[in-house]
Amino acid sequence: MPESVELYFLPPSHYCVSADRMLALKGIPAKKVYAPYHDRQDLLRRTGQDYAPTLIWDGRAVTWSEIPGFLERVRPNPPLLPRGQEGLALAIENWGHQVLEERVWRAVVTQIPPHLRTDPERWVFEEMQTRARGPWHVLRSRRAEFVRDLQEYFALVDRMVSGREWILGSPSLADCGVYGGLSPWLLVGEKIPKEFAALRRWVGRMQRL
């Protein structure tokens, strides 16, 4: 085991949550270092870049895109990429981040500010999200529509895990990516709807890794 493992982490970030679950799957304890949405000076000073998640492994900085491969090298078992299903694991992880998370994010973005730590951080978050997605009041008014749209994605993941404990039969990068994509919904205190029983059980397993 390394002497020191730190994970620069922001709770609303699906990539941060995914990296945290990768470490849990590998059985690697890490100290979480809060990476404020609006101020990454500490991270910049230590690593020369400002993107979270960043893993600090015995002083070595591992940026977010490198984390899965790095963990596979330093702790091969249990694998993030099951043998014979490597491409499938990578594709599903990508879908969790690029497709599922976007649907989740639209439904919860206006509920995120209370889960940030300071008023300046909340102000910057709302300003940046407004620039990217449109007026805040419109996002709030459309929330019910976004939540309705999300149900088909809950149903899809429910079918992925129906009759099995893990998406690919054993815990993998696919589970970490999909859980990361769902995580903003859970962060704001929402529950997985009762009709998606397999998904609810899978979420519980991911949280217990």
Q: What is the spatial distance between Cα 33 and Cα 10, in angstroms, rounded to a whole number?
A: 8
12 and 110 inside one domain: no
Q: What is the spatial distance between Cα 64 and Cα 43, in angstroms, rounded to a whole number?
A: 13
197 and 102 inside one domain: yes
64 and 127 inside one domain: no
- Which structural domain, as residue segments, surrounds residue 93? 86-208
For every one of its 209 residues, what pLDDT tens digit does the chain have, with 9 covering 90 and above? 678 999 999 999 999 999 999 999 999 999 999 999 999 999 999 999 999 999 999 999 999 999 999 999 999 999 999 999 999 999 999 999 999 999 999 999 999 999 999 999 999 999 999 999 999 999 999 999 999 999 999 999 999 999 999 999 999 999 999 999 999 999 999 999 999 999 999 999 999 99
What are the two backbone dihedrals, phi and then psi, of residue 89, each rounded to the nearest 5 degrees?
-60, -45
130 and 195 inside one domain: yes
129 residue type, one letter: Q
48 and 142 inside one domain: no
Q: What is the spatial distance between Cα 25 and Cα 80, in angstroms, rounded to a whole number?
A: 8
143 and 54 inside one domain: no
121 and 146 inside one domain: yes
| CATH number reported for the structural domain that contains residue 22 in this entry | 3.40.30.10
Per-residue pLDDT tens for 72-115? Answer: 999 999 999 999 999 999 999 999 999 999 999 999 999 999 99
Write out the two tokens for 112.
């995120």
Count CB neighbours of 132 within 10 A: 8
H helices present in 49-135, as ranges: 67-74, 86-95, 101-108, 119-133
94 and 187 inside one domain: yes
49 and 146 inside one domain: no
β pairing state of 31-34 and 5-9: parallel
Q: Residue 2: its pLDDT value, please?
A: 75
| CATH number reported for the structural domain that contains residue 180 in this entry | 1.20.1050.10
In percent, the amount of the chain with pLDDT more than 70 equals: 100
Write out the two tokens for 203.
């979420």
Q: Residue 136: its pLDDT value, please?
A: 98
Q: What is the spatial distance between Cα 57 and Cα 208, in angstroms, rounded to a whole number?
A: 23
74, 101, 130 - which closes a domain? 74
49, 74, 99 - which closes a domain? 74
Q: What is the spatial distance between Cα 19 and Cα 64, in angstroms, rounded to a whole number?
A: 8
Write out the two tokens for 71.
């963990």
The number of distinct structural domains making up the chain is: 2
61 and 135 inside one domain: no
Q: Residue 152: its pLDDT value, please?
A: 98
